[in-house]
């Protein structure tokens, strides 16, 4: 077999094996994200029904929004949680502890994962179009072709391996409520004086016009030190 035919066979093999697996992972991730959206919607409806007689203002009532096929959000009080499905498929790096599990040793194709990220932003960042404000990644969920998952992030535990059960509505609810609890307890800190003691004319003019001052919950602080 000549070199050109060998290369062609390798390309065909990759397309028929690896890329097929990646397509399966993507389909599983899309289905899981759809279930996430349903869980978010149901959870918000449940919370609203129970909170409407307990809160003094509707501004504290959670609001769910579907932002398209790859994004959804919940707004709660002064915070926004954005759930985002990446359109590409990833594999864990070779030094990751997950490769030591029997699950991946039995079939390395189980490592390919879709990624759903959860970000926390301030609601005012969007309300006042403060495009320089900072958001924080507070959770990542990895979903493989068998709909088994790994979750990492704030208050999400220390699991470093794929779950033994599929990612269902009960699992999504636990992930969402952990993220919500962390977000509501993750307060906006006053940044260190030296971080904000100098301001440009442009920044001040923007502030006067649009209330734009760079803001983030841990501006000037190490976010990973708050990893609890």
If you average pLDDT over residues 17-31, what whole number do you get?
A: 93
127, pLDDT greater than 80:
yes
CA-to-CA dists, residue 98 to 21, 196, 208, angstroms: 19, 42, 51
- Determine the Cα–Cα distance for residues 201 and 210; give it in Å rounded to an integer: 14
End-to-end CA distance of the chain: 58
Predicted local distance difference test score (pLDDT) of residue 185: 87
Q: Which of 152, 149, 144, 155 is nearest to 171 (CA)?
A: 149
Predicted local distance difference test score (pLDDT) of residue 220: 45
Q: Which of 65, 64, 82 is nearest to 139 (CA)?
A: 82
51, pLDDT greater than 90:
no
Q: pLDDT tens digits, residue range 134-168?
A: 888 999 999 999 999 999 998 887 677 999 999 99
Q: Which of 221, 44, 64 is nearest to 136 (CA)?
A: 221
Predicted local distance difference test score (pLDDT) of residue 155: 83
- Determine the Cα–Cα distance for residues 62 and 20; give it in Å rounded to an integer: 39
pTM of the shown model: 0.82
Predicted local distance difference test score (pLDDT) of residue 203: 61
Please return the burial class of 16, using the count of CB atoms within 10 Å of its CB with bins 0-12, 13-18 and 19+.
exposed
Predicted local distance difference test score (pLDDT) of residue 40: 97
């Amino acid at each position: 077999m000549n070199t050109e035919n060998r290369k062609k066979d390798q390309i065909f093999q990759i397309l028929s094996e690896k890329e097929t697996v990646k397509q399966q992972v993507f389909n599983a991730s899309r289905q899981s994200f759809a279930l996430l959206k349903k869980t978010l919607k149901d959870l918000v409806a449940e919370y609203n029904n129970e909170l409407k007689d307990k809160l003094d203002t509707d501004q504290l009532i959670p609001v769910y929004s579907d932002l398209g096929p790859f994004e959804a959000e919940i707004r709660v009080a002064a915070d926004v949680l954005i759930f985002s499905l990446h359109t590409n498929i990833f594999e864990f790096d070779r030094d990751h502890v997950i490769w030591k599990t029997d699950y991946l040793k039995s079939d390395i194709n189980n490592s390919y994962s879709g990624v759903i990220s959860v970000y926390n932003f301030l609601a005012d960042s969007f309300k006042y179009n403060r495009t320089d404000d900072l958001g924080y990644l507070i959770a990542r969920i990895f979903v493989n072709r068998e709909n088994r998952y790994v979750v990492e992030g704030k208050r999400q535990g220390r699991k470093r391996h794929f779950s033994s059960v599929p990612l269902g509505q009960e699992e999504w609810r636990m992930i969402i409520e952990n993220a919500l609890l962390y977000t509501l307890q993750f307060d906006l800190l006053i940044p260190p004086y030296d971080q904000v003691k100098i301001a440009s004319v442009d920044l001040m003019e923007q502030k006067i016009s649009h209330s734009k001052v760079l803001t983030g919950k841990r501006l000037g602080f190490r976010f990973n030190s708050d990893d609890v």
